[in-house]
Homo-oligomer: A and B are copies of this chain.
């Protein structure tokens, strides 16, 4: 079962809008067992639309199309679909009534543009849009189903969820596809691939492994394809348990879990609290922790000690430590963590001090160097890491390394 996606709109091509519809539709179709083999974004231009439709016709089972159904003159998808399917526009009374009712409710007068939205190609099946004015359209040609929907994400999602996905499911008794993500942190993609060479070569034929790295986190995605859900689930579970045996030190979670979620879950389950004392990360660790709903249960507060005076006067780092070892040092970061835990009265405290760049590096401590400490009742653990040259990437990587050290200390607790 093959599927493709066509998204239409000038704004996608000139980068004004990021195409989030395709990812959503791709995920839904994949879950339904479709192989989405291509996503194409094109302008609101007749010839580009016709080309894209012609390329898909006969080669794929289902084509999902979004965009170009608005009431303004730049939207030409409906007219072009008429041309492609050799049909013409007629007023659909049901849609017209819906639009009229909506305009009354919103207290807007009906105009010619609104009336035009009730026009649909005669040969299509009209898909009711419960969230907006432009209906969806279902066509069939050369054994390919073409489904055109509005580009407004929540309108598309309504039509997909209420009509398209159930109908496609009924039409295609399909193969089953299961995805499972294992989230890892603490090594390189190349190193992980080396460790998993043997695991990968012994995977059953219907399971594939993909490496998806982002900012130091590597997502391992297992995809199983087959006919029966339960046996596939068991097959995936078997591979997952193998992974836990091979790389236990790198796995921190599953599915779409972030490090801050993993930390939050651990702290919640143990009823423990955390604070941070951040220099180079400038509040990013606090921001990541508080991005999780419900984080007020375990996150108490932070001191962002950018200036050394804040390190000494608020966190109680001794002056001579900074003078003797420097602000970016094991000794300083250790005192920062201890100071934060004392002052903010938490079970754990994380501290960072480093050089995010672009300036401030030396031969001994180049840009990208960070010292991290985690203090708890069991003492203080410190770690030094060296990353790259880009300031924002460094801040992100310093923060994730800090969350991971914190996570390990909570587990070892």
Interface residues of A (CB under 8 A from B): 10-20, 22-28, 30, 36-43, 45, 48, 70-74, 105-108, 111-114, 117, 130-131, 152, 154, 158, 179, 181, 188-191, 193-194, 200, 208-214, 219, 221, 223, 276, 278, 282-287, 289-291, 293-296, 299-307, 309-310, 314, 343-345, 356-359, 366, 368, 386-393, 395
Contact = CB atoms under 8 A, between A and B. Distances in A.
Given A15-B25, A37-B48, A283-B283, 14 more contacts: A13-B26, A13-B30, A13-B39, A18-B19, A18-B20, A74-B211, A106-B386, A111-B191, A282-B289, A282-B295, A283-B286, A283-B304, A287-B395, A296-B307
B390 A154 contact: yes
A386 B107 contact: yes
Interface of A is mostly: mixed
Contacts of A16: 23, 27, 179, 181, 210, 212, 219, 221
Interchain residue pairs A-B with the least CB separation, the first 10? A15-B27, A282-B290, A283-B286, A283-B283, A113-B190, A15-B26, A301-B310, A302-B304, A39-B41, A14-B30
A8 to B, nearest CB: 11
A41 to B, nearest CB: 4
Number of copies: 2
A181 B17 CA distance: 13
Contacts of A284: 283, 287
A317 B357 CA distance: 36
Contact of A11 (B210, B283, B344, B345): B210
B290 A189 contact: no
A147 B272 CA distance: 51
Nearest to A214: B152
Contacts of A43: 37
Contact of A212 (B11, B117, B314, B357): B11
B194 A111 contact: yes
Contacts of A11: 210, 212, 221
Given A26-B14, A36-B13, A112-B194, A307 B314 contact: no
B191 A393 contact: no
Nearest to A25: B15
Nearest to A44: B210
B108 A191 contact: yes
B289 A300 contact: no
A344 B304 CA distance: 10
Contact of A108 (B22, B188, B291): B188
B299 A306 contact: yes
A182 to B, nearest CB: 13
Contacts of A105: 366, 368, 386
Contacts of A17: 23, 212
Nearest to A200: B73
Given A14-B26, A213-B70, A293 B358 contact: yes
A12 B37 contact: no
B301 A314 contact: yes
Nearest to A290: B282
A17 B219 CA distance: 11
B19 A15 contact: no
A117 B188 CA distance: 13
Given A28-B15, A293-B358, A303-B302, A131 B390 contact: yes
A27 B14 contact: yes
Nearest to A384: B107
Contacts of A392: 154, 291
Contacts of A299: 282, 306
A317 to B, nearest CB: 13
A300 B290 contact: no
B211 A72 contact: yes
Contacts of A293: 357-359, 391
Contact of A290 (B42, B210, B283, B302): B283
